[in-house]
Amino acid sequence: MGFLSARLGTEIPKRLSTGVVLPHRTPNNSLMPQIRPIAPENAPAWLALRCALWPEGSESEHREEIEAFFAGGLYPSGRPHLLKP
């Protein structure tokens, strides 16, 4: 049983039904989140997150940017982390 499971008193699955991956312990016993690339099926959750973080933008604006991202048109390289400053 992991730390969070012990604190909550119940076993928590590593992968939740939403596709979220919980942090796991590394060999040196530190917590390390597992990060995976975003996929088109994550768009609804991403839209909800964007709407919560930036309420000044409309839902349709956020949706258009998400669609542009998956179409490869939002960032010149197709991936924001590959952009050079």
Residue range 9-51, pLDDT digits in tens: 555 555 444 455 556 666 676 777 777 888 899 999 999 999 9
Look at residue 6 and tell me whether its pLDDT is greater than 70.
no
Residue range 42-67, pLDDT digits in tens: 999 999 999 999 999 999 999 999 99
**pLDDT value of residue 15:** 47
CA distance 14 to 38: 18
Closest CA relative to residue 2, chosen from 20, 25, 19: 25
Eight-state DSSP code of residue 40: G
Q: What are phi and psi of 32, to 5 degrees?
A: -135, 120
